[in-house]
Chain A
Amino acid sequence: MRNVLTVLMVVVGFALQGISYFVLADPWVTTGIPSGEPRLIAAPTLFIAGVVLVFLAAVLYELLPERRGR
């Protein structure tokens, strides 16, 4: 359970980073229309949340109590 949750947090964290960076923020490839606005407001916040989630996985991995009987 511990491993599953940790890996899940890491995967979700990296996914959040990737999606917010490449898809939701101001596009990397310009379409000819001057931009500067993110596609989704607060996309940078999602990126930061992704970074935080990845490192929080380490805390979860260490803090989850042992399974009973172990």
Chain B
Amino acid sequence: MSVNVSGQPLPQGIGRVTPGWLAVVGAAAAALAVGLYAYSREASEGLIETGLGDPGTGRGVAWGLYVAFVVYFVGVSFAGITIAALIRLFRIERLQGIARIAELLTVVALLLAALSILVDLGQPLRGIVNLFLYARPQSPFFGTFTLVISGYLFASIVYLYLDGRHDAAICARVPSRLQWFHRLWAAGYRDTPAERERHRRTTVWLAIAIIPLLVVAHSTLGFVFGLQVGRPGWYSALQAPAFVVLAGVSGLGLLIVIAAFMRRVGVARERLDEAVFSLLGRFLMVLLIAYLYFMVAELLTSTYAGSHHEQLITQALLSGEYSTIFWASVGLLVLALGLMVWQAVTHRWSIAALVAAGLFVNVAAVGKRYLIVVPSQTQGQLLPYVPGSYAPTLGEYAVVVGLFGLGVLLFALFMKVFPIVELPEEEVPAGA
């Protein structure tokens, strides 16, 4: 059935500013301002404003909170585009409603990941220029920056853009201040059968191209750590697959939280129903079980048969300096799994419980990313250096808060200019 939407207001509250939305934007902008101020201090004074230092003789860490969040944000981006691609590839109609949120999550998370890398560099401009001029393909960093940040980000933007043309065409029929924007996005799309078929073909091919790209990209990020033979705690064959699985866990968790928030504020409630959340919950449960299996396998190997240095790191995690973060993260993951299993067994899926699980796994993922990055630098010395230490400064926390503020701001702005939940096919104007 086709419905002509002319004369009706734009769907999903696009263009309508509400007090709640203003409050969210105000809070996000304030967080961003705090982050910008902290980064301006770092840019003018240098990395002395951070807790970073030289590993080994300097008794510090070269990679700290920022790199932990690079890994976290790249991880979050994984689930977004994976879900979106799988929905297109296997035509999972039930999840169609969250496809755009997933695509946007990927784009925003990758932008934040790129910014996290830049704030970690003492000379960001030099870093960017040298990457484009001299990067070496043998280095996992080459893959991380070219495949993850440029290729993967670009592919995700293309995906988001092409997938949005249908909805842009619908919105462009409604006279509004945003009509020019919707027309520009639609780029002449008229939803003819030929265009639909072409779009279907494109999305299938894009999905086929993106899925291997993102597995390679995320594995490459794992290899940045996993291939460092002289760094106990990092050098592990499980590093890359565990990266990919935890990426899926954190990304799916965040997707559930964002989708639940959209439902809560009344955006396309009928498309974000309980069935969508229960399916996401099942995916999350499976990934969570797989990740916990990887974690136990890695711990067992390093405690039972690990080298002396491996055992030192494991000891620092289990009962030493990092035990609080480690056990808190594990506790949150187990708690989230318990929530999932309970719901799966009782066949009663609750959105509130899923949101709680989504938040738990994300806090745990941040903790686990921190534990991947930091302990191997402070305790993982093969040479007889005194163990180092690292405590992020307020400035570092502020920059991270700013990054989250930017992410929320981008989401908030997007949802006021474009349908964040895909419009159903039925709303396509006949022969338009």
Measuring CB to CB, which residues of chain A are less than 8 angstroms from any residue of chain B? 21-22, 25-26, 28, 36-38, 41-42, 44-45, 47-48, 51-52, 54-56, 58-59, 61-63, 65-66, 70
Q: Please measure, in the bound complex, the distance between the C-alpha atom of A29 and the C-alpha atom of B154, giving whole angstroms.
A: 30
Q: Does the CB pair A48–B146 fall under 8 Å?
A: yes
Q: Are A59 and B161 closer than 8 Å at their CB atoms? A: yes
Chain A CB within 8 A of B408 CB: no
Interface residues on B, range: 20 to 34
A44 & B199 in contact (Cβ 8 Å cutoff): no
Q: How far is the CA of A70 from the CA of B198 in the complex (A)?
A: 14
A62 lies within 8 A of B133 (CB): no
Provide the bound-state CA to CA distance between A42 and B154, in Å.
19
Closest-by-CB residue of A relative to B151 is A51
**A66 to B194, Cβ gap below 8 A?**
yes
Given contacts A38-B136, A62-B202, contact A55 B154 (CB under 8 A): yes
- The reply to whether B132 and A48 form a contact with Cβ atoms under 8 Å apart is yes
Question: CA–CA, A26 to B136, complex, Å?
Answer: 6
- Known contacts A42-B133, A48-B151, A55-B209; can you find 5 more A-B pairs with CB under 8 A? A21-B137, A38-B134, A51-B147, A58-B158, A59-B162
**Cβ contact within 8 Å between A37 and B188:** no
A-B contact count (CB 8 A): 76
CB distance from B204 to the nearest CB of A (A): 11
**Contact B133–A41 (Cβ < 8 Å):** yes
Cα distance A43–B137 in the bound complex, in angstroms: 10
Question: Which B residues are in CB contact (< 8 Å) with A52?
Answer: 150-151, 154
Partner of B146 from A51, A62, A63 at Cβ < 8 Å: A51
Contacts of B134 in A (CB 8 A): 36-38, 41, 44
Let me know if B161 and A45 touch, CB within 8 A. no
In the assembled complex, the Cα of A21 lies from the Cα of B136 at a distance in Å of 9
B24 within 8 A of A: no
B138, A28: Cβ atoms under 8 Å?
Answer: yes
10 contacts between A and B (CB under 8 A): A41-B134, A47-B146, A48-B132, A51-B146, A56-B158, A58-B158, A61-B198, A61-B202, A62-B198, A63-B188
> Cβ of B385: which chain A residues have Cβ within 8 Å of it?
none
Interface residue B37 (Cβ < 8 Å from any Cβ of A): no
Q: Is the CB of A58 within 8 A of B205?
A: yes
Interface digits, B130-159 against A, CB 8 Å rule (1 contact, 0 not)?
011111111000100011001100110010
- Is B165 in the interface zone, CB < 8 Å from A? yes
Contacts of B150 in A (CB 8 A): 48, 51-52
By a CB distance below 8 angstroms, the chain A residues around B27 are: none
Q: Which single member of B131, B188, B192, B194 contacts A44 (CB below 8 Å)?
A: B131
Say whether B206 faces chain A, with CB atoms less than 8 Å apart.
yes
CB distance from B198 to the nearest CB of A (A): 6
A41 to chain B minimum Cβ distance, whole angstroms, is 5
Bound CA span A8–B187, Å? 23
Which A residues are CB-close (under 8 A) to B199? 62
Most buried by B among A22, A63, A70: A63
Is there contact, CB below 8 Å, between A55 and B165?
no
> What is the bound-complex CA distance between A54 and B131, given in angstroms?
21
**Are B136 and A59 in contact, with the CB atoms below 8 A?**
no
Contact in complex: A26, B138 (CB < 8 Å): yes
Report chain B residues within 8 Å CB of A41.
133-134
Q: Which residues of chain B are near A37, meaning CB under 8 Å? A: 134
CA distance A36 to B192 in the complex (A): 53
Q: Mark B291-312, 1 if CB is under 8 A from A, else 0.
A: 0000000000000000000000
Give the distance in Å from the alpha carbon of A10 to the alpha carbon of B187 in the complex: 22
B391–chain A nearest beta-carbon distance, Å: 35
* 3 closest residue pairs by CB, A with B: A51-B151, A44-B135, A26-B136
